[in-house]
Structure 1
Amino acid sequence: MRNNVIKIVLVLVTFSGIGCKKNKEINKISTEGVVEYFANEFLDDNRIHSISIALYNNGNESTFHFGEQNPNKKNPPTDATLYELASVTKTFTGTMVAKAVLDGKISLDDDIRDYLPQEYPNFQYKSEKVTIKNIITHTGGFPNFPPAGENKKAFWNGLHQVEISSKPGTEFHYSNTAPEITAYILEKAYEIPYQELIEEYILKPNQMIDTKFVLDAKDKNLLIQGYNGEKEPQKHYQSNLWGGIAGIHSNTSDLMKYIKYHLNESIPEIEESHKNFFSTQYDFDIGYHWNIVKIENEVCYRHHGGIWGMQNWLMVFPKSNIGIAVLSNASFEGIDDKLEKLALNIKRGIK
């Protein structure tokens, strides 16, 4: 099968520069063939054990699994296999903030100190306050990691050490501190624990029954083991805070539902969550935690997630009504680029 797929893709490449004939040749290639080719290319790196893919293409839903969950075990992932989404969790946080804005629970221009449990005179630059918009766009001047994070009390006490060194809203500095503050603000606004908010307003309405912060014994048996580049098993992430930065577990079946949710911009909180607030110094803009980038003249909303032992990308293209999630239980320097290339190659190949 693989040799046939390679031949098919070679045909695609051969005709990639030949006008209308290109479209005729692409149309001959099945989605399965395109995905299998690029998945096998991804797995040619022997540090990588498996890949799971959820692909939504104009009403067609497909999931794919290649490789093996554990080296030499011949046990491929399935639609039920759970992965840690790591920082893709931030898109859930951002979506919940968008809903809170529409519900009138918060305003993007609110001073974050209005919601916090302690006084933080250090949360300003000169006379400039830090707003909710600043912390969801990583422009609030917060450090990547909090001074203390072993528990919530230590988190709040440690934040007194933070110095805001630039005018809020002017510089992008990626922060794993600010989203935890955001999660707490959402709790205060709704008077409901953050993780319950995500379940009530995002997971339940979209029937994402397998997507969870906290796993029971059955779920833990479905959670894939993660490995580093030396094939050494890695510990699973354990959040001691609210979970605004990471902590959600999901599978390809539920991620398909999440993709469809974010492709539907007729939903008020989705339309709101796709707003563009800031152009970073990198190749993307940012809104409600979505990284926003133009790829071949089409806007893509995407986010990468990486943790010890596993990494993933989630991308949605509302204009072409395409969304894709790619997940692997390997983590090492450069695999994020490999996953990004895999996702974009599949997207280009199926068009």
Structure 2
Amino acid sequence: MKRNFSLLIIVLLFSNCKEKAKEVQNEPLSAIEYSMVNNANFILENPEINSVSIGIYKDGETHIGYYGEIDKGKNNLPNDNSLFEIASVTKSFTGIITAQAVLDGKIKVDDDIRTYLDDSYPNLVFEDRPIQIRDLLTHTSGIRRDFSVVLSKLFTLDATQEEKTNIVNYNSEDLQKDLKQYKLDRIPGSRYEYSPVVGPEILAMILEKVYNKSFSNLLNDQILNKADMNQTQLQLTTEESSNLVNSYTDEGLLVQPMPLPVKGAGAGLKSSIPDLIKYTKYLLDTDNPVINEMQKPLFNDVLEGDLYGYFWQLNDDGEFMHNGGTHGSTNWVIVSPEINAGFTVMFNSNGDTSGTLINNIANRILNDLENYPKKNAYFSVRKKIMENTNKGIEFYNKLKLEKLEDFDFEDSSMLNSIGYELLGHEQNEDAIKVFKLLVSEFPNEGNPYDSLGEAYYINEQYELSLKNYKKALELNPKNDNARNAIDEINKII
């Protein structure tokens, strides 16, 4: 069975990556360098991706790497002065300011938002439940993304210049005017539905009112100055704009920077990789009561199994994260206090492929940091197996024998991923060899047998497929995939 968390079938389209990983046996890299270089090169095999920028903060040390090129064919790497639109990651800053307001006694998360607005807004109640501060923070207010005709154009790639101008000119008064006309159709706080702009912008207005300061000043005073993030801001000067990297769709279309509506609290910040690493360092301060407050769970999405705090998505193991994307850029910021690490990864491209790939690399980097200081054997093993499966398996066994202390061999998804990549190339016999190795390495896990069963099925070796699916079901009686496969095979044989 293919696992979605850490594997992805990708057709190998090798591009002319500008920085290649050094051979493990010739010039060893540090564990974090190894992760950064190999993960970036793996992603740059896909022609949709122009550049990959990675910053990692781990145990007091900062690691930064830039790979690919901003503009295809120009050999222009991003650098420490490059600025990126971080889009919805901006919301995480708004969440921190809101957490500070709660600690300062300015607001409460259960407050009716109408308390802080200049009119009565009887329409912002459904079945006697008003919209609360917590609902804005967790995308559960019931206000949909089609809230405003003007703001809806923010998410349209082919918006006209007039529509973009209307977005830039859309202000707090316009937002309140549209808010008065909006009709709720669900109980606030009952269902998650992502609100790209409206929720954060309402919060920004509330924060400005209770502090009697502009949102940009609150950003500077409460976060940017404290974290020494001197390259991060909402508005850029003409000189600073020259450092804003070009961004592209997956199809290679150059995309103009996103217009900045209202306060910019939902998606307006631009930042650099060094500044985002300073941000993760700031977020790892467990003695800071604001950081602890903003991690408090405010909504549990039972249907999806997700937990949300002050705009942050939370994990049971203490990790918290946020991602962002414009029409031409996408990024993640992920923080794991348990391993004293945080990182950001940035593409200057976006689309379906980019969105999938940035999730893939974020998962891989997080896995690598969790297994630190061991390195991920996947990259070197994959390379050898894709060149020659038999020799690659020999290489795997030799590497495990000689470098067990240096590399992680405990994650079964490594061989599973390689096997499915071979299946994607219709190299069925080679995939079977890899899955057989996987089964021998993890004989007590059900998933390897499921994967081997699938490979045999694709190769029309139904008896062997049935045998492995039965073993997979024996080890995991909840494996519906194996159960359904067994039924299908029984119809064939």
Residue 331 of structure 1 corresponds to 350
CA contact (8 A) 1:6 1:37 kept: no
Structure 2 counterpart of 1:228, one-letter code: T
Q: Which has the higher helix share?
A: 2
Residue 188 of structure 1 corresponds to 209
Shift of 1:136: 0.7
TM-score (norm 2): 0.64
CA contact (8 A) 2:21 2:34 kept: no
CA contact (8 A) 2:55 2:345 kept: yes
Shift of 1:80: 1.2
Structure 2 CA distance, aligned partners of 1:118 and 1:311? 37
CA distance 1:7–1:158, change in 2 (3 Å): farther
- Partner of 1:299, secondary structure, is coil
Residue 383 of structure 2 corresponds to none
Shift of 1:33: 1.6
Give the superposed CA RMSD. 1.8
CA contact (8 A) 2:21 2:37 kept: no
Structure 2 counterpart of 1:130, one-letter code: I
- 1:273-312 aligned at under 5 Å gives the runs 273-280=294-301, 281-294=303-316, 298-312=317-331
Structure 2 CA distance, aligned partners of 1:233 and 1:180? 28
CA contact (8 A) 2:91 2:267 kept: yes
Structure 2 counterpart of 1:209, one-letter code: N
- Partner of 1:282, secondary structure, is coil
Unmatched 5+ stretches in structure 2: 1-18, 152-166, 373-493
CA distance 1:42–1:258, change in 2 (3 Å): same
Matched, 1:158 2:178: yes
Shift of 1:223: 0.4
Matched, 1:342 2:342: no
CA distance 1:334–1:162, change in 2 (3 Å): farther
CA distance 1:47–1:28, change in 2 (3 Å): closer
Structure 2 CA distance, aligned partners of 1:337 and 1:274? 26
Structure 2 CA distance, aligned partners of 1:266 and 1:195? 25
Shift of 1:154: 2.4
- 1:82-231 aligned at under 5 Å gives the runs 82-147=83-148, 148-149=150-151, 150=167, 151-152=170-171, 153-176=173-196, 177-231=198-252
Instruction: State percent identity of aligned pairs.
Output: 32
Structure 1 CA distance, aligned partners of 2:182 and 2:247? 33
Structure 1 CA distance, aligned partners of 2:77 and 2:22? 22
Q: Which has the higher strand share?
A: 1
Rg larger in 1 or in 2? 2
Unmatched 5+ stretches in structure 1: 9-26
Deviations 1:141-161 (A, max 9, x none): 111243244312322211223
- Partner of 1:51, secondary structure, is strand
State how many pairs are aligned: 330
Structure 2 counterpart of 1:230, one-letter code: E
CA contact (8 A) 1:108 1:132 kept: yes
Structure 1 CA distance, aligned partners of 2:143 and 2:126? 11
Deviations 1:318-340 (A, max 9, x none): 11111110011001113222112
Deviations 1:292-338 (A, max 9, x none): 124xxx33201110102101011000111111100110011132221
Between 321-330 and 160-169, report the one with greater CA deviation: 160-169
